Structure 1
Amino acid sequence: MKMKFVLLIFLIYFAVMVWILYFSLQLSLFVTPVSKHEESQPIYFRKEFSEAGHDLQGSATLRPGMVMLLSLYAHLPSVTEKYSSISKYLIHFIEKMKKDITVRGVAKDPWELAREWATPNSLVPETAPGLGDILAALSTAPIVSAAPAVGGSQFKIILWLEGKQKVVLAPKIHSLDSILIGKNRGGDRHNGEIVAFHLGRLLGLQMTPIAVGRKVSLKREILPVATQRLAETFSKNKNGDTCFYGICRYCKPQWRVCAVQDTLSCAVIMWLPEHLSILEIDHPWRDNKKNVLARWEYDENYCQEVLVGDQGGKILDIIDVSVLDYIIQNTDRHNAVYIAGEPDSSFVPIDNGKSFGDPHTDYTDMLAPVLQCCRIRQATYERLVLLSGGGMSLALQELLALDPVAPVLTPAHLRATDRRVTHLLAALSACSVKKGGWHNVLF
């Protein structure tokens, strides 16, 4: 009896080993060996360059739609060497930008000037005397009323400033040096809105909403003019500081935001004027929230479908905004926003808060529109070249130092913007080879 039992155990063990061997052989048929050189490269199917929810087979999920990323890394060394120093034209360019911000007394009525500027293709002109007055008003004008931004997922407040100007207030939720691992983690970052505005100007994207930092007193400026619904979310912490948590999908008492010594740093984003209503539609390269790959992730030729679709005529706008999003790592661009009733409207990049989460990680799958379409406005490309070689961090550092809540970015995040500019130039270099020359890439 004992002998039969031992034999049975042996047969089971043997069967299990045969099954494991068979499964291993079958699996090897679908796995391409990786050379030592390839193993050292940050290639497209590694986990740090894709959303965790899309890693259907762990960190080695193959996304055929992103195969062009391999050519990006192939071009990266030569592009890094080519654009290794700051352009001699950059300082003059930065000084022009700074002049628009620092000169005061140009506009008698800043709100009216902003309304006059606003068209379906530009919120702020390339040269913008009077911008300093608008930014100053946004950061200092008395607050007349405050209400929760109901219906959204993030903690934001709707303010009316003296002079009947509507704005969105995004409070500082995370410290500047907080590192948020993964896409769309944590609350919106107030500094992302401020940086996006200045970056939009640097890149020539004139539809980026005007945004500036502001230090507010919750006790003296917000609570006295708050609606009852908003006021009910106010409380005191153990240090006696005023706190609030607002009303939104993820707003909860345990995640309240507190002033420090009666002061809270925020971003104030100017509401679009009444004559410009927005139209929101699905972004062609939005992430699929379900546990399946989106079309662009598995179809390298997906751009051809977009070009013949409803947004085909907007492809250069979409590319421009994807450049902005990649530099700030805004991983939550799920809608494309245009001006309603204006077929020739430019893309309006609103909601830039899911940015600057991790200065050490670059989600290169965000380059899908650039790599799959291989086209970009020549003006945008020329701005990237101008801001290369460390120029982007220098320009942003100079402009952001003038903001009321400076510092706005940590040195690590500033350095990351330089790295991402190089990635973009490498991607476009790869495109020039793929398309047979720059004349087929620059428009």
Structure 2
Amino acid sequence: MRCSVEKLCRKKVHIICLAALLGFLLVTNHILQKLESSQRRTLHDFANPEMKQKEETLPLRTKKIKDLIQKYRFDLDMVIDDSPWAIAAKWVKAREIHPSHIPELGAILNAMASYPITQASTGHKGTQLKLKLRLKHGQIVAFKPMWYKRDTILSGSPYIGRDRHNGEVAAFHLNRILEFRRAPLVVGRRINLDTEIIPVASPALLKTFFTNGSNTCFYGKCLYCLGKDDGVCADKNILEGVVALWFPLEMKLQLSKHPWARTYKKNVKALWETDDTYCDKIKGIRVFQHSPLLLDILDTAIFDYLIGNGDRHHYERFRDEPDAALLLLDNAKSFGNPNVDETSILAPIIQCCRLRKSTWEQLLIHEDGDLGAVLKGVLENEVISPVLHDPHYTAIDRRLSHVLKIIRNCIHKHGEDNVLAEN
């Protein structure tokens, strides 16, 4: 009996020892794996410092993008007590169309996209088809119809093709993100031509309506609106487009030719295309010596380059305002080809080597290549979302990188104080 007890005890001791040894081996193996992983990580970081830096900054970049999207996001469901038209009218000043912080924006855009149309007539000027609409409570908006699908790529000259209605929307919000605040309010809208336009159309507009199969169409009145071949057709009776808010009637506009305008003639170049000292000549003109106009033109060159707008042949400012801003109107010749960066748009920047310091600081906020992501996030709330085909967001970041490189070269060559101008 005593022998049996001793054998049983020895077996228990052996089991306990084996269990302890197994536990020791498992712990040791875990520690060795940790050390090996740490060593591999250290060697990886040593061999790939840029990768380590990217991994460390990725959460910060993601937070930055989210914060910027939140800052410029708009809520179409927002409800306001005051008239949306009165609020928007109060925003308009000589140097800006809207302020930086505009919590009521969503409500105003929603009113533009949904208020009943009480009158419809042909656009009063321009080369492209548009309608002049009067909404409930008297507000006037300009309607530009959809001509192209989102993924359409236009090849050719920098100003080729018809207006891109979605480009107007994207340009407006990019203007907000870059804090230019000089583009009119724009929002997408889908209109039933049979029930919303034809019953309130002017006789002149009504004459231009026709049908193509089961689709309702019209060609309106403009320089290139010559007949049915130039008309736009709805999808049956629903036509997508955008509406842009008109300025208060007392704010009259003054039209001027852009000093860096193209000739729009084949094989005929403008003076700025052949004279590298052209900017010095512009600086000698009185209007550019005693106003912020030249700096506005330089801002606009960057803005147009980012959106791919090579059609800025004229510019408009508020009349009787000596320091009035150059307004970012008619931005629909934009986002035509994400694969082409039309460097000629940057001629004012390249030739003048000058820029507002505040504009430079805004651009630097997005030097990590996040401007496209921020714009895409802001546009997710738009009525006609998705607003842009994804390659256009990539193009914006690529173009911004090019702009920063040009300005940095200017600073290296001429010094920061001679390049960056105070407001």
Normalising by structure 1, we get a TM-score of 0.78
- 1:439 alignment counterpart: 417
- The number of aligned residues is 358
Structure 1: give runs of 5+ residues left out of the alignment.
1-80
Deviations 1:231-268 (A, max 9, x none): 11112222x12111111111231132111143211010
Q: Which amino acid in structure 2 is aligned with residue 130 of structure 1? A: E
Work out the CA distance in 1 between the residues paired with 2:273 and 2:81: 48
Q: Following superposition of structure 1 onto structure 2, how do residues 21-420 of structure 1 map, counting pairs within 5 Å?
A: 86=61, 89-98=64-73, 100-102=74-76, 104-182=78-156, 183-238=158-213, 240-251=214-225, 252-290=227-265, 291-309=267-285, 310-312=287-289, 313=291, 314-420=293-399
Deviations 1:340-370 (A, max 9, x none): 0000101111111111111111110111111
Bigger mean CA deviation after superposition, 148-157 or 100-109: 100-109
Work out the CA distance in 1 between the residues paired with 2:80 and 2:413: 49
Give the percent of matched residue pairs that are identical in Structure 1 and Structure 2: 38
Deviations 1:76-130 (A, max 9, x none): xxxxx9xx974854432221111x4456123521000011111111111011121
Deviations 1:286-334 (A, max 9, x none): 1123443212111112111112212343111111111111111111101
- 1:45 alignment counterpart: none
Contact 1:107/1:133, CA 8 A, preserved across alignment: no
Normalising by structure 2, we get a TM-score of 0.81
Poorly superposed stretches of 4+, deviation over 6 Å: none
Q: Which amino acid in structure 1 is aligned with residue 117 of structure 2? A: I
Work out the CA distance in 2 between the residues paired with 1:186 and 1:337: 22
Report the 3-state secondary structure (helix = DSSP H, G, I; strand = E; otherwise coil) of the residue aligned with 2:392: helix
Cα distance change of structure 1 residues 307 and 423 upon mapping to structure 2, 3 Å threshold: same
Report the 3-state secondary structure (helix = DSSP H, G, I; strand = E; otherwise coil) of the residue aligned with 1:191: helix
Report the 3-state secondary structure (helix = DSSP H, G, I; strand = E; otherwise coil) of the residue aligned with 1:168: strand
- 1:70 alignment counterpart: none
Work out the CA distance in 2 between the residues paired with 1:302 and 1:432: 20
1:383 positional shift? 1.7
Work out the CA distance in 1 between the residues paired with 2:198 and 2:367: 45
Contact 1:120/1:276, CA 8 A, preserved across alignment: no
Contact 1:87/1:389, CA 8 A, preserved across alignment: no
Work out the CA distance in 1 between the residues paired with 2:250 and 2:93: 9
Contact 2:142/2:246, CA 8 A, preserved across alignment: yes
Q: Which amino acid in structure 1 is aligned with residue 358 of structure 2? A: A
Work out the CA distance in 1 between the residues paired with 2:183 and 2:152: 25
Contact 1:336/1:347, CA 8 A, preserved across alignment: yes
Structure 2: give runs of 5+ residues left out of the alignment.
1-53
1:212 positional shift? 0.6
Structure number with greater CO (CA < 8 Å, separation at least 6) is 1
Work out the CA distance in 2 between the residues paired with 1:180 and 1:351: 18
Report the 3-state secondary structure (helix = DSSP H, G, I; strand = E; otherwise coil) of the residue aligned with 1:311: helix
